[in-house]
Amino acid sequence: MSSTILEMSDLTLSYTTLGRKLRALRGVSLSVGEGEAVGLVGESGSGKSTVARVALGLTPASVAQIETGCIRIDGRDVTHLSEDAWATLRGHPIAIVFQDPLSFLNPVMRVSRQIAESVKQHTPELAVAPRVRELLERVKLSASCAASYPHELSGGMRQRVLLAIAIACRPKLLIADEPTTALDVTTQAEILALLEELRVGLNMALLLISHDLGLVASACERIYVMYAGRTVEWGPTAKVFGAPAHPYSEGLLHAAQTDRDRDGRFVTIAGDPPDLAHIGVGCAFAPRCSYAMAPCTEGMPEPIALAQSSNHMVRCWRYCQGGSLLLSANGRVDRP
């Protein structure tokens, strides 16, 4: 078993703005091992971007408080790290790329110089130029692109520049927050292929955060599904997408495939996404859930392994009864 680079256990985090408290994360458990490709799927407001930010200590301490749970990076507890201490962790061992590269690039500096700036932090002066060339090669950017300004490049090119900057510090984990959402489908496929190549070539773990199930399914070995600030289901991609256990994952999967029922209507999840300001103690999905039972509004069950030896986990009362699992003799789950 490889070592774990990033681990969050039952993390809760709330934002306080103008005297109002909003709990963005309500119980996130997540781990990314060495060289592993992990996906984090959720809709807008599910807290998936907050996960990315908190993993790099980018949630401003003035408005965001971690209430319970902990974050570990390389086995070290970083839950309550100071701003200065966080700065030493960014870039290495953890780097990040965002959805919109343009806002992270300096508009009046040639991109090659911006890559060099990042390289300089970890490399002696003489080795900078060859290292920049190597990085450009890794992300497949031509020399003419490197000599351009950010606005002269296409969205895909810019994302490559950002990737070059991110891998400059040889991170052990790259967090990609909606890296292809702003891109066209054909470019999207290229960036995805590049991410995979970098991951394998550099033995770097990848945490891919996206609302696009197809994207995550094709790039990740394991996935986490988030709803209203909680990880509700996780496991190997094939298992989670092949036999989704949480009603939300199930609905999401059908919706994403634009499946249609017998009347030709599109399969969908009824109701509206949750308003984070008004969620009770129970399962946030209960109001939209067709399987909702009495305990659903009263609390959230602990993660349950779906088969005895499996790493496919779910947090749903359907698989509990008075605290015990609804497992039949052969270890498979009985669907109530």
Partner 1 sequence: MRRFWPRFTSQRAGLAAAAYVLVLTLVMLGLQVMPGSDPHTITSEVMLPPSAAHPLGTDELGRDVLLGILHGIRVSLTVGFAAALGATLIGVLVGALAGFYGGILDLLCMRVSELFQVVPSFILAAVIVALSGPGLPQVVAVIALLGWPQVARLMRAEVMRIKHLEFVDAVRCLGTRETRILMGEIVPNALAPVLAAGTLIVGHAILLEAGLSFFGLSSADIISWGRMLNSGQRFLFNAWWLSVFPGSAIFLTVLAFNLLGDALGSALNPRSAGMK
Partner 2 sequence: MTAPLLDIRGVSKLYRRSRSEFVHAVRSVSLAIDAGQTIALVGESGCGKSTLGRIALGLLTPDHGSVLVEGRSLRALYGSELRRLRTTMQPIFQDASAALNPRRSAREHLLQALAVRSAATEPAAIALLESVGLRPGADYLERFPHELSGGQRQRLTIARALAPQPRLIVADEPLSGADVSIRGQILNLLLEIKRAHRIAYLFITHDISVARAFSDRVAVMRQGEIVETGPTERVLAKPEHVYTRRLLAATAGFHLDRSKELAAR
- In the complex, which residues of this chain contact partner 2 (CB under 8 A)? 43-44, 184-186, 188-189, 211-215, 217-218, 237-239, 241-243, 248, 251-258, 260, 264-270, 272-273, 275, 288
Contact between 86 and 57 under an 8 Å Cβ cutoff? The reply is yes
The residue (of 101 and 171) whose beta carbon lies closer to partner 2 is 101
* 18 forms part of the interface with partner 1 (CB under 8 A): yes
Which of partner 1, partner 2, none has residue 17 at its interface (CB below 5 to 8 Å by kind)? partner 1
The residue (of 89 and 283) whose beta carbon lies closer to partner 2 is 283
- Please classify residue 186 by burial: count the beta carbons closer than 10 Å to its beta carbon, then call 0-12 exposed, 13-18 middle and 19+ buried: exposed
The residue (of 150 and 251) whose beta carbon lies closer to partner 2 is 251
What single letter denotes the amino acid at residue 83?
A: E
Q: Which of 305, 286, 310 is nearest to 297 (CA)?
A: 286
CB of 3 to partner 2, least distance (A): 27
CB of 17 to partner 1, least distance (A): 6
CB of 260 to partner 2, least distance (A): 7
Contact between 50 and 73 under an 8 Å Cβ cutoff? The reply is no
The residue (of 19 and 75) whose beta carbon lies closer to partner 1 is 19
Q: How many CB atoms neighbour CB 336 within 10 A?
A: 10
CB of 259 to partner 2, least distance (A): 8
Contact window for partner 1 (CB under 8 A) among 13-21, 72-80, 157-165, 171-179:
13-21
* 19 forms part of the interface with partner 1 (CB under 8 A): yes
Which of partner 2, partner 1, none has residue 247 at its interface (CB below 5 to 8 Å by kind)? none
- Torsional class of 248: left (φ above 0), alpha (ψ -120 to 50), beta (otherwise): alpha
Using CA of residue 262, residue 263, residue 268, residue 270, what is the dihedral sign? negative
Query: Buried b vs exposed e over 291-303: b needs ≥16 C-beta within 10 Å?
Result: ebbebbeeebbeb
State the number of binding residues for partner 1 (CB under 8 A). 3
Dihedral angle of Cα 53, 57, 63, 66, to the nearest 10 degrees = 100
- Rounded (5°) CA angle 252-7-58: 85
Which of partner 1, partner 2, none has residue 44 at its interface (CB below 5 to 8 Å by kind)? partner 2
CB of 76 to partner 1, least distance (A): 30
* 17 forms part of the interface with partner 1 (CB under 8 A): yes
CB of 18 to partner 1, least distance (A): 5
Contact between 205 and 38 under an 8 Å Cβ cutoff? The reply is yes
Residues that bind partner 1 (CB under 8 A): 17-19
